[in-house]
């Protein structure tokens, strides 16, 4: 049984609730356990995962959050740098499912976050578990 950490960038509460719901359901359905950690925004997610990994308590990670395009360049920085940070940790060997949505508007976010639609929270949890399985198979 694996123990996962869901790290959520809690900026849009109603959207995050849906992402977390999907991730928790996928983890439970696969027979694993989890904890949830909340950070202020998507830029803090990679750092939180790196710090949590030092505890050696978690087998895999699920990164969740929503970044909605605004009127400034900030969207590109947050979307790109959070993804870059997560990818760097993944390349270093951490099993991370990236469910940080980068969308144009709230309607797109809702469609992707709802467990009965695109279920990107659940997909991120499944991706983390798939990477964990791959890491374990490659270690043999």
Which residues are catalytically annotated?
A: 74
Q: CA–CA separation, 91 vs 2, rounded Å?
A: 20
Give the Cα-Cα-Cα angle 123, 125, 24 (nearest 5 degrees): 105
Per the annotation, does 136 bind a ligand? no
Answer CATH for 3-138 from 3.40.50.960, 3.40.50.2300, 3.40.50.1980, 3.30.70.141: 3.40.50.960
Asked if the model's pLDDT at residue 112 lies above 90, the reply is yes
**Per-domain residue ranges of the chain:** 3-138
Find out whether 58 is annotated in a ligand binding site: no
72: annotated binding-site residue?
A: yes
In whole angstroms, how far apart are CA 96 and each of 87, 109, 112? 8, 21, 19
Q: How far is CA 37 from the centre of its chain?
A: 11
Q: Tell me: is residue 112 an annotated ligand-binding position.
A: yes
What pLDDT score does 73 carry?
A: 80
**Least confident segment among 29-38, 112-121, 131-140:** 131-140
pTM exceeds cut of 0.75: yes
């Amino acid at each position: 049984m694996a123990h996962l950490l869901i790290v959520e960038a809690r900026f849009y509460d109603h959207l995050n609730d849906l992402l977390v719901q999907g991730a928790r359901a996928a983890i439970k359905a696969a027979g694993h356990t989890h904890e949830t950690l909340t950070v202020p925004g998507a830029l803090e997610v990679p750092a939180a995962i790196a710090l949590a990994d030092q505890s050696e308590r978690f087998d895999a990670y699920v990164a969740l959050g929503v970044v909605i395009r605004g009127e400034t360049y900030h969207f590109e920085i947050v979307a790109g740098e959070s993804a870059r940070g997560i990818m760097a940790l993944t390349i270093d060997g951490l099993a991370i499912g990236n469910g940080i949505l980068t969308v144009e508007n709230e309607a797109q976010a809702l469609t992707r976050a709802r467990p009965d639609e695109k279920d990107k929270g659940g997909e991120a949890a499944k991706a983390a578990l798939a990477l964990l399985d791959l890491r374990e198979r490659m270690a043999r």
